[in-house]
Structure 1
Amino acid sequence: MYEFMSNGSLDSFLRADGSRLDWNTLFQIAKGIARGLEYLHQDCNTRIVHFDIKPHNILLNEEFIPKISDFGLAKLCKWKESIVSVTGIRGTAGYMAPEVFFKSFGGASHKSDVYSYGMMVLEMAGARKNNNSTSMSDTYFPDWIYKKVEGGDDLGVDGVTTEEEEELCRMMVMVGLWCIQSDPLERPSISKVVEMLEGSFQSLQIPPRHFWSSPTRSAQSTSSSAIDSSNRDKVLTMQA
């Protein structure tokens, strides 16, 4: 028997033809998902790496409390081992971490879920939808939103009408950018993500601009990618 999730998937509220959730609800959903991942990564007897975190796999109950679903690609990971042995591609293009494609970025791990979470949070904040550039794929939207954050510019996100909403939006964007750092060591643990979301916006620092250009859905199997490899060996204090 399963709990009935009356509000369906988060994906339905992010589509252009769907109903838009208010910013406080979106923010609380983002925190709830982070706490759910924290349970999988930190509180289970055996760490569980989901490998397919995306809006379609987040279900919402009548109070918009999120639940992570679809564990078909999940892997168990022993506590003393940070790297998960995987064969083939796991996840959905656009949300997959670079190390899932290329071993040169490091092995797949719980930090791969953090990357997927970051891409999803940026989408929740509207960063992907509002990148209307015709000269580049939507895959590159992190670079677009980073420039706005770095310059202190208006994010141009729909539905932001108050200072409180602007702060929630910027907080989600900032956390998302931290989570999608190309080097897994530069990403925060999911516990740190929860801490960031429960803290103040003023305490957040702008992350390095180290993003990987992931393949589009139409070019998943043949894509090759590049990254600004400067300071690849830099390990931040935010690592797990």
Structure 2
Amino acid sequence: MTLASAVPFMLFLSIFVYIMCSRKPHKNNWQNAELFLQQHESLIQKRYKYSEVQRMTKSFSNKLGQGGFGSVYKGTLRDGRIVAVKLLSESKGDGGEFINEVASISKTSHVNVVTLLGFCLEKSKRALIYEFMPNGSLEKFVYSDRSNTETQLDCEKLYEIATGIARGLEYLHNGCNTRIVHFDIKPHNILLDHYYCPKISDFGLAKLCPSRESIISMATARGTIGYIAPEVFSRSFGVVSSKSDVYSYGMMLLEMVGGRKKIDAENERCSEVYFPQWIYDDIDRYCKVGIPGITSETEEFMRKMTVVGLWCIQIMPENRPPMSKVVEMLNGSVDDLQIPPRQ
């Protein structure tokens, strides 16, 4: 299948899946979550009462943001630590996203993965308590107005962030006893600490599998339109595996370089947004898009990210590098990188 014919089909199918899923009635199933916590008590973090969550957030008075499964609020623990409290919506999900989040992140310990400090489960009341990330998500820096200096990051810092995310993903895929595939890598789910060190967050859609198991069985598509790998919603492109995260990472890399506007699935020229083929024709210009004051030295960072991004978004999963190779490519010389063939 050629890229030109694949893009409309892929976009239509992904939108169709999302519409159908949104029409299904959800039933809260907190009993399953409670059973899971009882069975894995040794793995989980501190458990808080709902009244304690209310107190630490001052009755949810300081909202930081909104996600697919709920809202995030700023809070303070008794020891003075500032935290981010993710309150899951009672009307969405069946408890699966809560279990995914706790099960996934409880198995991790990495500088580029957000730390779960605790949780709350009182029947339908579900909350997750995380370390607070003062610089918010990467989204505001990728989709920002280029005239706003407060949301500007220089080329070297963007490159450092990209490399940190790659290390975090490589850890999830290969560094844990249980392989974790995130399935929703995008700027919104990358948080930045005081020093702009990136932390992968939001494991509500993650899948866990034995480290030696590469193929993942899935009943329905999961992820965010624009970042979903082709094979996730059509097995004709290949099997679902950790390479699906590689694809999402590649799309994010290209956005970080080009400073693209937020993806609009209704944009009539969406194929150009999803698969920017013109990069192949003018990679030099793409590396300079939206980057003020770029020099030959900083352009090298952008070129490296662009070429790696193109490798990561190859249509067929077997043509994408594993995250270990992505880290190696980002840390290597730009002269050693070849532009992948057109798809």
Asked whether the two chains share a fold, i.e. TM above 0.5, the reply is yes
Q: 1:127 to 1:21 in 2, by over 3 A?
A: closer
CA deviations 1:74-127 (Å, max 9, x no partner) are 001222321111121110000000001110111111000000000000000016
The answer to whether 1:136 aligns with 2:264 is: no
Q: Percent identity, aligned pairs only?
A: 62
Q: 1:117 to 1:154 in 2, by over 3 A?
A: closer
The answer to whether 1:68 aligns with 2:200 is: yes
Query: Which residue number in structure 2 is paired with residue 4 of structure 1?
Result: 132
Alignment check: 8 A CA contact 1:105 1:182 kept: yes
Alignment check: 8 A CA contact 2:288 2:299 kept: no
Query: Which residue number in structure 2 is paired with residue 178 of structure 1?
Result: 311
Query: Which residue number in structure 1 is paired with residue 222 of structure 2?
Result: 90
State the alpha-carbon separation in 1 of the partners of residues 288 and 156 from structure 2: 18
Alignment check: 8 A CA contact 2:165 2:198 kept: yes
Query: Which residue number in structure 2 is paired with residue 44 of structure 1?
Result: 176
Query: Which residue number in structure 1 is paired with residue 163 of structure 2?
Result: 31
State the alpha-carbon separation in 1 of the partners of residues 328 and 170 from structure 2: 11
- Larger deviation: 162-171 or 40-49? 162-171
Corresponding residue to 1:188 among 317, 321, 327: 321
Q: Secondary structure at the match of 1:67?
A: strand
State the alpha-carbon separation in 1 of the partners of residues 177 and 307 from structure 2: 31
Query: Which residue number in structure 2 is paired with residue 165 of structure 1?
Result: 298
Query: Which residues of structure 1 form unaligned runs of 5+?
Result: 211-240
Corresponding residue to 2:256 among 121, 124, 146: 124
Query: Which residue number in structure 2 is paired with residue 20 of structure 1?
Result: 152
Question: In the TM superposition, what is the alpha-carbon distance from 1:166 to its structure 2 partner?
Answer: 1.1
Alignment check: 8 A CA contact 2:288 2:294 kept: no
State the alpha-carbon separation in 1 of the partners of residues 268 and 203 from structure 2: 36
Question: In the TM superposition, what is the alpha-carbon distance from 1:15 to its structure 2 partner?
Answer: 1.7
Question: In the TM superposition, what is the alpha-carbon distance from 1:142 to its structure 2 partner?
Answer: 2.3
Q: 1:11 to 1:127 in 2, by over 3 A?
A: closer
Name the larger-Rg structure: 2
State the alpha-carbon separation in 2 of the partners of residues 6 and 153 from structure 1: 33
Q: Could you say which structure has the greater relative contact order, defined with CA pairs below 8 angstroms and 6 or more residues apart?
A: 1
Larger proportion of strand: 2
Amino acid corresponding to residue 278 of structure 2 in structure 1: W
Alignment check: 8 A CA contact 1:14 1:124 kept: yes
Query: Which residue number in structure 2 is paired with residue 77 of structure 1?
Result: 209
Query: Which residue number in structure 1 is paired with residue 247 of structure 2?
Result: 115
Question: In the TM superposition, what is the alpha-carbon distance from 1:160 to its structure 2 partner?
Answer: 4.8
Alignment check: 8 A CA contact 1:97 1:112 kept: yes
State the alpha-carbon separation in 2 of the partners of residues 92 and 154 from structure 1: 24
Query: Which residues of structure 2 form unaligned runs of 5+?
Result: 1-116, 118-129, 262-266
- Larger deviation: 183-192 or 73-82? 73-82
Query: Which residue number in structure 1 is paired with residue 282 of structure 2?
Result: 148
State the alpha-carbon separation in 1 of the partners of residues 301 and 186 from structure 2: 20
Amino acid corresponding to residue 132 of structure 2 in structure 1: F
Give TM-score, length-normalised by structure 1. Answer: 0.80
Corresponding residue to 1:99 among 221, 227, 231: 231
State the alpha-carbon separation in 2 of the partners of residues 47 and 76 from structure 1: 6
Question: In the TM superposition, what is the alpha-carbon distance from 1:135 to its structure 2 partner?
Answer: 7.3
What's the Cα RMSD here?
2.0
